[in-house]
Amino acid sequence: MPTKHSNTIIMIEGALCIALAVVLSRFDLFRMPQGGTVDFELVPLIILTYRRGFKWGFITGALFGVLRALLGGYILNAAQFILDYPLAFACVGLSASHPKIIGIILAYMCQTLCSVLSGVIFFAEYAPKSQNVWAYSFFYNAPVIGIKYLISFIMALILWKALERELPVR
């Protein structure tokens, strides 16, 4: 059972990872026309999830999502906010639910599902009239989120090796 002291350390670590994720979210490698970016914001969240597990990854991801929305998100209503921000980023916690590659694929699929649902429900007017809204939302969101997860996963693995030596989990 974790002690109050160890929970405090994990919360501080989570806050630092959120702060780093916010900074990294400001450096876009690529930006989509109607929203969505490829950046490195997921790297600290994935590392925290690997270090501390699903629960802390889920909580930290959700808090980061709220902060990301407050720092310049596009919010139409409460349901869209929840799908696009806290729930979508909480999905990072799933990367700790299975071995690394399977877990990261599961997290990617969950975040993609949140974005596709949001696209279908709230942003259907951007789909060309000749294209199915589900297909449009999927093909708009899945590649961008996939590239972001792939890059972040590779970076997290590289950094993970160094962090395992320097910052053992207590």
Residue 134 domain flag: yes
Q: Which amino acid is at 143?
A: P
Q: pLDDT tens for residues 123-149?
A: 999 899 999 999 999 999 999 999 999
Q: pLDDT tens for residues 84-100?
A: 999 999 999 999 988 88
Instruction: Give the H/E segment covering residue 37.
Output: strand 37-38
Model confidence at 40: pLDDT above 80 = yes
Residue 152 domain flag: yes
Residue 169 domain flag: no
Domain that holds residue 73: 10-24+33-164
State how many domains the chain has. 1
Region 140-159: mean pLDDT is: 92
Residue 83 domain flag: yes
| Residues in Cβ contact with 170 at an 8 Å cutoff, skipping those fewer than 6 apart | 6, 9
Residue 4 domain flag: no
6 token code pair: 């160890």
Residue 2 domain flag: no
The CATH number for 94's domain is 1.10.1760.20
| Residue 75 exposure: Cα atoms within 13 Å on the Cβ side | 16
Q: Which amino acid is at 42?
A: L
Residue with tokens 């600290």: 44
Residue 3 domain flag: no
Model confidence at 170: pLDDT above 60 = no
State the pTM of this model. 0.89
Q: pLDDT tens for residues 47-64?
A: 999 999 999 999 999 999
Spell 15-50 as b/e; 16+ CB within 10 A means b: eebbebbeebbeeeeeeeeebbebbbbbbbbbbbbb
